[in-house]
A and B are shown apart, each in its own frame.
Chain A
Amino acid sequence: MRARAAWLCAMSVCGAIVSRERRAHAAVFLTVEVEPPRAQVGEAVSVRYSVRLRDQGGVQIMPLNFGALQLLSDPAPPQVPMMWGTGFGFSMETSTEYLVRAPRPGRYVISGGRAVDPRTGRVIAQAAPVTLVVGEGSGVDADADASTQPQTESSEAVSDPDAPPNGDMSGAYYDMVGFFRVGVDRPRVYLGEQLTYRLWAYAASPDAGCEVTEEPTFPGFWNEAAFTPTRECAQRWFSQQVNGRFMAIGLVRKYALFAAQTGRQRFGAVIGRVDVMTGGMFRQVRRAESRTPPVEVEVIEPPMEGRPEGYVPGTIGPVQLEASVDRTDCPVGETATITVRARSVGSLSSAQLLFERNVDGARVRAAEGRTAVTPSAEGRYESVRTMELLIVAERPGTVALGEARLPYWDPSTQRYDVARVLLPTVRGTGEAIARGAQATEQPDPTRELRALSERPRLRAYTPWFSKGSRALAVAILPSVAAAIVAGASAALRFKRRADEERASEAKNDPASLLRRAQRSLAEDEREACALASRALERAKALVREAEVELSSDARARVGEAEKALEAVRFAGEGSAREALSRAEDAVRSMLEALR
């Protein structure tokens, strides 16, 4: 007994030593470093908040208190995994870097760095406060700077038109985590001039996603999407310094817009969200709901002064014209088609081609034109309008149409111009058409109009129905009424039949007794046979009452059924099912005899 106690004591001491050793090894180190420790007003200062765990269970790192300093980056503290329960311990190092700046000279204390035990709330470790000394410096007033728009500085080549513009953060509501920004390449355009609309998503980290929940609207503009929106957040990515902090920027939407209406046009706001992954090794999604301010564009008409004859407002150049013909040699009376293509980065939807319509020896007709919009090499869109001229030579020889002209307004030079192209010649071959041929044409009876009505009725037309939906509702009324009547009568019939069945069962007639016997066969065979015997007795009584003579065969069946039933009921011999079927046969034969 004593030896056992000694052994237990030794084990306890060993356990205590081991646990003490373990507790002695667990440690949390917190460090806050400022670089540079002395700064000027408005200067961006880097603050590194480091956490080092050694054989430590779950801890919670508290965020730093930056006091009056302006924080330009994500304020979240370093993330460490939460391990609940005892016995877990691990070692790791993580840190987060912040960007701050001081609004005015002075001493700023960065404090509050603590590691807390999440179970007990006890502070395990604490970082020493760090003091940042800020001098007068170059006299930049950070307060004034902060009150205006955040400033951006791109790291991309300025020549890329899809990169967001530098300077003031216009077209966006700034958010530290992420936000959307819209931009148009010019705020004032001419009617028909092309405008590019872009939507960017700004995110605090390159590891980001976004979703547009409300798409932009462009009243007063035709729009062509430069790329189809997909599940991907953005089609292209850029980076830009926003207030001294790098942000990832994705091109989310891009539209080529053609002004279709003059006046101040307002594009609807875009609403969406930007998701940013933060927290270093232990990732955490931070979501920013964002909306853009509405964008206004002024659409003006080109001036009236100097407007060339035949100019249609909305035709924007510079326009390149080219012409081709489907055949240069064309028999007299047949049609040759000259195709004229006009290209411009502006709208050509309403462009009108001017050409000589009265040509000696030929008939010239202009067919309808069609416009297509295709992407051009410079990332913009190009309108291509195809117009066809139909030439019918009336006599052999060369038909020269001269040049075709298309007046347009050139916004780049701020003046009107006329695009010209020499139309190809067509050579008529064969015999000339006689001018009088058409005059002798027979009248077409299918084009002859019939006479006016003999006696028009001078009254108003008053239809019963003017709307198809009402007429349909009235027309289906008989069917609906018939369906209701049929349904009601079916329900009544069903109810009547059920009542009759219930009544017949209540009356103890042989058929219902046999049905009850069949139902109770599975549960109690003797009870079933008793019911079948009662059915036989009832049937026999009915036969007696009706004074009907049973055939010998029927009598034999009745006798066999009685025997079989009694054998099952009183001696427990034979099959109850078989006895029941014999009783059914017997009852049926008696009921048939009754009929």
Chain B
Amino acid sequence: MKARALLWVCCVWLAPATGWSIPASELLARSRAAATRGDWNASARSLEELVAAGVDDSSVLYDLGTAYAHAGRYGEAIYRLEQVVRRQVFDGDAQHNLRATRLRLAHRDAERSGRAVAETSLPITTALGEVLPLDAAVLLAVLSQLGALVGLWIARRRSSEGARIGGVASASLFAAAALFALAVLASRARAKPAAIVLRDGVRLLSAPAEDAITAEPVREGERVTWVARTGTFARVETLEGRQGWVRLRDVGALE
């Protein structure tokens, strides 16, 4: 009787882990199959499940962003590709697809309303903060500072003039690199959290309520900064300085 009860408990405990979960490789295969068929929404759905399960490597996000872009969901595509670019600055494919998605969105807007914004330049401090991913900036800052210290030590200890000049020169170079990395980190630390407007037709609300008066619209794929959050609403500020409330489901936080 005891053994049977123990078996039952084990079954109940292990069931969620084994019984109904779909392997990540299976989801990826489904996504690829759907992409081959040209069903980009289905492909994106499988990748969304992967990301929701915690499999959010940059390559998965790149695929998800590209699938969104093919499906015409430009806001979501820009959001995912921005995430990839922030993680891997030198990812050429992600950079290209991000630019292409923005151009596609701009053409769609131009078709609809006669006007479009392809890309908005970021403030210099914000742009500086996104030149390097955080981890890379920290690594660069630490290594450069150590390099500069070693250079200084060589310049002081070595008796030959050549070694002294070499030490000073390398210390200066490392110090410049360290300053650059620290400037990146300081800009990032000062910057408000950024977010991307995911959907078309989102308007800024005057108050955090479903029945609040809507104000100026925000563009799909537009970058906003996160000012505050109340319940299911977030107060955001656009790059032009307009502020208002949006529903949380309408924006994707980049951090």
Q: Which residues of A does B touch, CB under 8 Å? A: 191-192, 219-220, 222, 258-262, 301, 312-314, 335, 347, 349-350, 365-368, 370-371, 390, 392, 444, 446-453, 455-461, 463-469, 471-472, 474-479, 482
Q: Which residues of chain A are within 8 angstroms of B97 by Cβ–Cβ distance?
A: 449-450
CB-based contact B60/A262 at 8 Å = no
B188 proximity list for chain A (CB < 8 A): 468, 471-472
Chain B residue nearest to A457 (CB atoms) is: B57
- Mask: chain B, 203-221; 1 = CB below 8 Å from A; 0 = not: 1001101011111110000
A260-B213, A464-B138, A479-B145 as given contacts; A368 in contact with B113, CB under 8 Å: yes
Would you give the shortest CB distance from B24 to chain A, in whole angstroms? 4
Stretch of B4-12, B62-70, B161-169 contacting A (4+ beta carbons < 8 Å)? B62-70
A261, B212: Cβ atoms under 8 Å? Answer: yes
Can you pick out 25 interface pairs between chain A and chain B where the beta carbons lie within 8 Å of each other? A191-B213, A313-B213, A314-B214, A335-B114, A349-B215, A350-B213, A365-B115, A367-B115, A371-B216, A449-B100, A450-B96, A450-B100, A452-B63, A453-B62, A458-B25, A458-B50, A458-B60, A463-B87, A464-B135, A468-B134, A468-B186, A469-B189, A472-B189, A475-B138, A479-B145
Shortest CB–CB separation between residue B225 and chain A, in angstroms? 14
Q: Which of B59, B115, B142, B185 contacts A453 (CB 8 A)?
A: B59
Given A446-B103, A472-B185, A478-B55 contact (CB < 8 Å): no
Cα of A482 to Cα of B147 in the assembled complex, Å: 12
Contact A461 B87 (CB under 8 A): yes
A347's partner among B133, B185, B213, B217 (CB-CB below 8 A) is: B213
Is there an interface contact between A459 and B55, defined as CB atoms closer than 8 Å? Answer: yes
What 5 A-B pairs have minimum CB-CB distances, sorted nearest first?
A: A468-B188, A468-B189, A475-B141, A260-B206, A365-B114
Q: What is the minimal beta-carbon distance from B210 to any residue of chain A, in angstroms?
A: 10
Does A460 lie within 8 Å of B57, measured CB to CB?
yes
Partner of A459, one of B57, B211, B217: B57
Output the least CB separation between A389 and chain B (Å). Answer: 9
* A460 CB contact (under 8 Å) in B56, B114, B191: B56
Additional A-B contact list (14), CB under 8 Å, known A390-B114, A457-B57, A468-B189: A313-B213, A347-B213, A349-B216, A444-B103, A447-B104, A447-B107, A450-B93, A453-B59, A460-B54, A461-B58, A463-B134, A475-B145, A476-B182, A478-B146
1/0 per residue, CB under 8 A from A, across B179-194: the answer is 0011001111111000
Residue B137 interfacial (CB < 8 Å)? yes
Residues of A within 8 A of B28 (CB): 456, 458
Question: What is the bound-complex CA distance between A472 and B179, given in angstroms?
Answer: 12
A-B contact count (CB 8 A): 170
Partner of B103, one of A366, A447, A455, A459: A447
The residue on B at minimum CB distance from A259 is: B213
Among B70, B129, B145, contact of A478 (Cβ-Cβ < 8 Å): B145
Q: Once bound together, how far apart are the Cα atoms of A313 and B213, in whole Å? A: 8
Q: Could you tell me the distance between the alpha carbons of A80 and B239 in the complex, rounded to whole angstroms?
A: 65
Q: Which B residues touch A259, using CB under 8 A? A: 213
CB distance from B123 to the nearest CB of A (A): 15
- B55–A449 CB distance below 8 A: no
Q: Which chain B residues in 112-133 approach chain A with CB under 8 Å?
A: 112-115, 129, 133
A261: nearest chain-B partner, CB-CB: B207
Q: Which chain B residues in 12-28 approach chain A with CB under 8 Å? A: 24-25, 28
Chain A residues near B134 (CB-CB < 8 A)? 463-466, 468, 471
Interface assignment of B149: CB less than 8 Å from any CB of chain A: yes
Q: How far is the CA of A390 from the CA of B111 in the complex (A)?
A: 12
- Which residues of the other chain, A, contact B24 by a CB distance below 8 angstroms? 458
Chain B interface mostly helix, strand, loop or mixed? helix
A444 to chain B: which residues have CB within 8 Å? 103
Q: Is the CB of B113 within 8 A of A365?
A: yes
Q: How far is the CA of A366 from the CA of B87 in the complex (A)?
A: 38
- Bound together, the chains give a CA A16 to CA B62 distance in angstroms of 113
B101 on the A face (CB < 8 A): yes
Q: Are A457 and B66 in contact (CB under 8 A)?
A: no
Cβ-defined contact, A453 with B93, below 8 A: yes
Task: Contacts A459-B55, A465-B135 given; indicate if A447 touches B87 (C-beta within 8 A).
Answer: no
Please determine whether B213 and A349 come into contact, CB atoms closer than 8 angstroms.
yes
Complex Cα–Cα for A465 and B138 (A): 9
CA distance A314 to B206 in the complex (A): 11
Q: Tell whether B35 is near chain A: CB-to-CB under 8 Å.
A: yes
CB distance from B216 to the nearest CB of A (A): 7
> Chain B contacts of A482 at CB under 8 A?
145, 149
A15 to B211 CA separation, bound complex (whole angstroms)? 93
Cβ of B204 to closest chain A Cβ, rounded Å: 10
When chains A and B are docked, how far (Å) is the Cα of A459 from the Cα of B203?
Answer: 36
CA of A262 to CA of B209, assembled, Å: 9
Closest to A474 in B: B138
**Bound: A192/B185 CA distance, A:** 45
Q: Are the C-beta atoms of B142 and A474 separated by less than 8 Å?
A: yes
Known: A335-B114, A469-B189. A446 touches B99 (CB 8 A): yes
Compute how far the CA of A367 lies from the CA of B116 in the bound complex, rounded to whole angstroms. Answer: 10
A313-B217 Cα distance, complex, nearest whole Å: 16
Contact A350 B215 (CB under 8 A): yes
CB-CB nearest in chain B for A392: B114
Among A219, A349, A370, A452, chain B packs the most CB atoms within 10 A around the CB of A452
A460 to chain B, nearest CB (A): 5
B181 touches A475 (CB 8 A): yes
Q: Which residue from chain B places its CB closest to the CB of A477 in the assembled complex?
A: B142
- Cβ B185 vs Cβ A471 within 8 A: yes
The answer to whether B186 and A367 have CB atoms under 8 Å apart is no
CA–CA, A388 to B57, complex, Å? Answer: 45
Q: Determine how close the nearest CB of chain B comes to the CB of A33; give it in whole angstroms.
A: 61
Instruction: Give the shortest distance, in Å, between A362 (CB) and chain B (any CB).
Output: 12
Please, which residue of chain A has its CB at the minimum distance from the CB of B69? A449
Is there contact, CB below 8 Å, between A461 and B113?
no
Looking across the interface, which residue of chain B has its beta carbon closest to that of A262?
A: B211
Contacts of B99 in A (CB 8 A): 446
Asked if B57 and A192 sit within 8 Å, CB to CB, the answer is no
- Which residues on B sit within 8 Å (CB–CB) of A474? 138, 142
- CB proximity of B88 to chain A, nearest CB, Å: 10
Q: Point out which of B32, B104, B113, B206 has the most chain A C-beta atoms below 10 A from its C-beta.
A: B206
Report Cα–Cα, A452/B65, bound state, in Å.
Answer: 9
Q: How far is the CB of A462 from chain B (nearest CB, A)?
A: 10
- Say how far A26's CB is from chain B's closest CB, in angstroms: 72
Contact A478 B149 (CB under 8 A): yes
Q: In the assembled complex, which residues on chain A have CB atoms less than 8 Å from the CB atom of B133? A: 463
Contact A475 B185 (CB under 8 A): yes
The winner among B138, B181, B213, B215 for most chain A CB atoms within 10 A is: B213
The residues of A that contact B145 with a CB separation of less than 8 Å are 475, 478-479, 482
A448, A477, A479, A482, most chain B CB atoms within 10 A: A479
Q: In the complex, are the beta carbons of A471 and B212 less than 8 A apart?
A: no
CA distance A477 to B70 in the complex (A): 45
In contact, B189 and A449 (Cβ under 8 angstroms) = no
- Shortest beta-carbon distance from B150 to chain A in Å: 11
Partner of A466, one of B50, B137, B255: B255
Q: Please, which residues of chain B bring their CB within 8 A of the CB of A468? A: 129, 134, 185-191
Which residue of chain A lies nearest to B140 when distances are taken between CB atoms in the complex?
A475
Q: Which residues of B contact A370 (CB under 8 A)?
A: 216
